[in-house]
Amino acid sequence: MAHSAVHKWYKQTLGVTGKVTLKFANNLAVPRDLTKSSDLAAASRHQDFILGIMANPLFLGKQYLSEALATPNLNLTALPVEQISYTNGTVDL
């Protein structure tokens, strides 16, 4: 939400036409064994989880992935539609 607020302030309040982006600190998940479907699935889930939590609302205007929301002992609740709408499209690059 903070990124989206700054983006809107920069564009709407200041009227600046420059581009705004953000950097993800993603540790690329590599399967331990390329021949095991469980390792491939785990690497894919890691990428989806780490990037999807931030990227889905910002870039795609979508809810967090259902897998992330269903993860036990994770303090993550679904975003209200208003927040998804507020954050969507606030990354220019």
Q: Burial level of 87, CB count in 10 A (0-12/13-18/19+)?
A: buried
pTM for the full predicted model? 0.75
Q: What is the pLDDT along the chain (93 residues), one digit of tens a residue?
A: 899 999 999 999 999 999 999 888 778 899 999 999 999 999 998 988 888 888 899 999 999 999 889 989 989 999 999 999 999 999 998
Q: 73: which DSSP letter?
A: T
**31 closest CA partner among 17, 21, 18, 45:** 45
* Phi, psi dihedrals of residue 63, rounded to the nearest 5°: -65, 160
